[in-house]
Amino acid sequence: MEQIRAIWRYGIKVGIIGGIVLILMSLIGIIEVFTKRQVIADFISMGHVLYLAAGLFVCYMAAKRTKPAKPLWVISSSFFAGLTTTFFLVLLIILGRYINLRMMFINASDLLLNNLLTFGVEGNSGMLLLLYVGMFTGLITGLFYLLPNVVRTVILWSLAGLVFAGVLQDLFRSILTNNFPDIISEWLLTSDGLTMKGAFAIFIIIALVIISWSIKGEGIKQGWQNLPKKQQLTWRTVGTIILLVIILVAPWRLGLFMSEVLTIVGLYVLLGLGLNIVVGYAGLLDLGYVAFFAIGAYVTALITSPEIMNLNWSLWAAIPFAIFFGILAGVLLGVPVLKMRGDYLAIATMGFGEIIRLLVLSDALRPFLGGSQGIGKIAKPQILGFVFKGPQEIYYLIIAGCMLVIFVSWRLKDSRIGRAWKAMREDEDVAQAMGINLVSNKLLAFGTGAGFAALSGVIFGSKIGSIYPHSFNIMVSINIVCLIIFGGIGSIPGVIVGAAALIGLPELLREFAEYRFLVYGIALVVMMLIRPEGLWPEEAHKRELHEGTAKEATG
Amino acid sequence: MAVDGLDIEIEEKTIHSVIGPNGAGKTTFFNCITGFYKPEAGEILLENHSLVGLMPDRIVRLGIARTYQNIRLFPDLTAIENVLVGMHAHLKSSYLGIILNTPFVKKEEQDAEDEANRLLKFVNLEAKANMLSKHLPYGDQRRLEIARALATRPKLLCLDEPTAGMNSGETQAMCDFIQSLRDDLGITIMLIEHQMRVVMGISEIITVLDYGKKLAEGTPDEIKRNPKVIEAYLGQGSAAQAH
């Protein structure tokens, strides 16, 4: 009796939630779209990986929640969670036979319902198979949950790594074919998906790395700490030089497509670092940040393009002007919103962003700003005859910009001004009572952030050659805020990681495009739940954790 | 009207307490001095400089620092960062200087860090310099807040119920500490306090407020014997105890 109640509570209830989630995933079409990409060639597609992963997660949650965690109870709740989940899917399939679901859900295709959801087996036997898969998944997950922690970690990370490799196969393919003999890439990858041998190899390699790290890792860390300071410094320098070399040769070793992705990520790193000063350091939530990006790009266009003003200056001459006008706009926007806090500030700045976009779009200003036609023929930068024309060359410009901006952010971070910003973020009134002039420090933050955005705008304009108002809509601002939160608010490496994850990954996975914001939303919610400080949080927190453990160790 | 027709003179290097029942206008009075509220009428003078209408950050620079009744540290900054923020007004590094990390900026930062460490040591927190202030125990937070106020190099330090929520041992330690601020650092101290034992023990002059007006002023002994005070303040307290 007791056990039946547990099955209901932990198994079937979780299964119902899982069933609903999976039905939603099917009906929004994400599974069908993703089946177009193979993870392991002729074996499993990304859609099915997603489908199975969701199912596994449901069963795992059921197993994890079961209390008391007796083996039999765990397995049975996981089993019933799997069965219930698939039962809901079977209901969906049956429903699809009698009612035309496509009236409302255009993604509920025949292919999805009668083939993809049932792993390619059609008809009634397909539904039966689906139920069997549910039960089997539940059993396996239950057993998996009972394994020792270490084994679970190794298997999970290896599987995750394998899926990651499969999903990012384009990246690996371009790295492998450009840098290593063809035989390696042929052995690992087919034209679509990993080979079976390759998949096994990757799984085993990751597992071995994790196992050896868990055995040797502590020793290596200890050894590193015991190294004399001088040697540590030399190794660090060597590491930095290697990293620099990799960064510098990357576009030529990765090919055109990857360079393009890297330049986009780089532009967002520039933007992110600028907004990080405003939002992360000074705590001023600015949702109109794209305006400064637009101002940078438009000033560049006006100065360098033969259209409209016909000045035809070089791009280098445009940079100081663009940054100057960016900073000026930042300060001018700052003045009216000085007294605003929190939500009010966010809305006011959002309005400012839209005003700038509507101004450049307007017919009244068309003779000066090009209206919806935009401005074309923006100059490409040159040094001594070397023209930065394609993404592989522009990349260097962006790297230089990023280095500059990282350097400035880093210097400001722990300075008198950086501390004043952080104090304002924590408590504006008290900051003022400590002698911090709110007006000048806020304007300094707005100005610095806007300057970075304008620099980004210069490079953006020159990269794409012609600019249009619709490139500067509010979604750019929202994207930047998201990547900052995702990476870790106020953290410089966090911005880079956030840009790579939220901007780079979707570029690599073109299928994502449609679901980009859905995935953003889910990613942010999950992040807030399990790791609210972000992927790579600010150092103060780490520093403190470190000291906490040190104290425990001695005390 | 929370404070009305109040006339207080604070002698240099005294410990001057302001007491009064709840809602008597003590904290409002503090907020007027430190620039958070602007008085509708009247004057506030610091060494013959008028403070009325100045922003709080200007007033701190002139030499009045404060702490808060409910501790208001910068929770996500470390202890030493909190103190360094207090020094903000006395540091002169410019924006460009910081980015170029000029020798002047380097030296100033080093000196500031040394001074912050010295202040932390003074309040017995040197071992916890790198802890986030929100993770410090209550008593440490109180002392850190005072260290942060001291970092502004005040002539007058306004303490708003520094012993609130402390047990008798901690309260005694805080009293000794406040006295050492005056004796060792020569800072004038104005104190809002509820606990009579603290007030009577360390103050040289006491001002009693009631309904925003000054009820009495004098040495602890005079206040203890003042019939108006006994009626309005102590009397109320003893009446409450009788219930």
Same structural domain, B78 and B111: yes
Mean pLDDT of B121-125: 91
CB contacts, 8 Å: B75 with chain A = 426
Q: Are residues B241 and B160 in the same domain?
A: yes
A-B C-beta contacts closer than 8 Å = 100
Q: Is B69 within a domain?
A: no
With beta carbons under 8 A apart, name residues in chain B contacting A422.
74, 76-77, 81, 85
Å from B165 to nearest chain A CA?
21
Question: Do B138 and B149 sit in the same domain of this protein?
Answer: yes
The percent of residues above 90 in pLDDT, for chain A, comes to: 46
Query: A29: which 2 tokens?
Result: 């079409």
Domain-located, residue B97: yes
Which among A407, A420, A543 has CB closest to B85? Answer: A420
- Shortest Cα distance from A522 to chain B (angstroms)? 27
Based on the domain organization, do B230 and B161 belong to the same domain? yes
Closest residue in B to A434 (Cα–Cα): B86
Q: Do A419 and B98 touch (CB under 8 A)?
A: no
pLDDT of residue B237: 52
Tell which residue, B64, B86, B106, B134, has the closest CA to residue A420.
Answer: B86
In chain B, residues with a C-beta closer than 8 Å to the C-beta of A434 are 57, 60, 85-86, 88-89, 148, 152
Smallest CA–CA separation between B123 and chain A, in Å?
Answer: 18
Last residue of a domain, one of B123, B153, B183: B153
Q: Which residue has the higher pLDDT, A389 or B188?
A: B188
Please indicate, yes or no, whether residues B220 and B171 belong to a single structural domain of this protein: yes
Query: Is residue B33 domain-shared with residue B95, that is, in the same domain?
Result: no
* Residue B229 domain flag: yes
Domain identity same for B2 and B58: yes
Same domain? For B2 and B34 the reply is yes
In a domain, residue B206? The reply is: yes
Q: Are A129 and A54 in contact (CB under 8 A)?
A: no
Query: Any chain A CB within 8 A of the CB of B141?
Result: no
User: Per the CB < 8 Å rule, is A416 touching B91?
Assistant: yes
- Regarding whether B37 and B143 lie in a shared domain, the answer is no
Establish if B32 belongs to a structural domain: yes
Spans in chain A with pLDDT lower than 70: 1, 539-555
Residue A236 near residue A471, CB atoms below 8 Å: no
DSSP for B51-86, please give it: -TT--HHHHHHHTEEE--SS----TTSBHHHHHHHH
Q: What is the pLDDT of residue A34?
A: 85
Last residue of a domain, one of B116, B134, B153: B153
Per DSSP, the three-state class of A9 is helix
Task: Give the residue on B whose Cα is nearest the Cα of A541.
Answer: B132
Is B86 near chain A, with CB under 8 Å? Answer: yes
* CA–CA distance, A521 with A535 (Å, rounded to integer): 16
How far apart (Å, rounded) are the C-alpha atoms in residues A73 and A4? 9
What's the gap in Å between the CA of B126 and the closest CA on chain A? Answer: 14
Please judge whether B130 and A544 are an interchain contact, meaning their C-beta atoms are less than 8 angstroms apart.
yes
Cα–Cα nearest to A20, from A136, A516, A160, A12 = A12
CATH of the domain at B37: 3.40.50.300
The reported pLDDT for the residue numbered A66 is: 84
Count of the separate structural domains present in chain B = 2
**Percent of chain B clearing pLDDT 90 (strictly above):** 47
Question: Containing domain of residue B217, as a range?
Answer: 1-63+154-243
Are B151 and B119 in contact by the 8 Å Cβ rule? The answer is yes
Asked if the model's pLDDT at residue B243 lies above 50, the reply is no
Position A553 scores a pLDDT of 39
Do B167 and B144 form a contact (C-beta atoms < 8 A)? no
User: E strands within A384-484?
Assistant: 386-387
- Predicted local confidence at residue B195, as pLDDT: 81
Q: Say if B205 falls within a structural domain.
A: yes
Which of B109, B138, B153 finishes a domain?
Answer: B153
Q: What is the CA radius of gyration of chain A?
A: 27
Asked whether residue B7 is assigned to any structural domain, the reply reads yes
Would you state the pLDDT for residue B241? 46
Contact between B93 and A416 using a beta-carbon 8 Å cutoff: yes
Q: Pick the most confident of A449-453, B176-180, B203-207.
A: A449-453
Interface check A415 vs B, CB under 8 A: yes
Give per-residue pLDDT as tens, A458-472: 999 999 999 999 999
* SS3 track for A491-529: CHHHHHHHHHHHHHHHHHCHHHHHHHHHHHHHHHHHHHH
Nearest CA in chain B to A432: B57
B48 and B102 housed in the same domain? no
B chain contacts of residue A431, beta-carbon cutoff 8 Å: 74, 85
A411 contacts B98? CB cut-off 8 A:
yes
**Interface check A222 vs B, CB under 8 A:** no
Q: How far apart are the first and last CA of chain B?
A: 31
User: What confidence score (pLDDT) does residue A544 get?
Assistant: 53
Query: Token pair for residue B51?
Result: 């403070």
State whether B167 and B114 are in the same domain.
no
CB A466 within 8 A of CB A307: no
pTM: 0.88
Whether residues B178 and B122 fall in one domain:
no
Option in B76, B105, B130 nearest A543 (CB): B130
Residue range A1-38, pLDDT digits in tens: 677 887 888 888 999 999 999 999 888 888 888 888 88
- From the list A411, A419, A436, the residue facing B57 with the nearest CB is A436
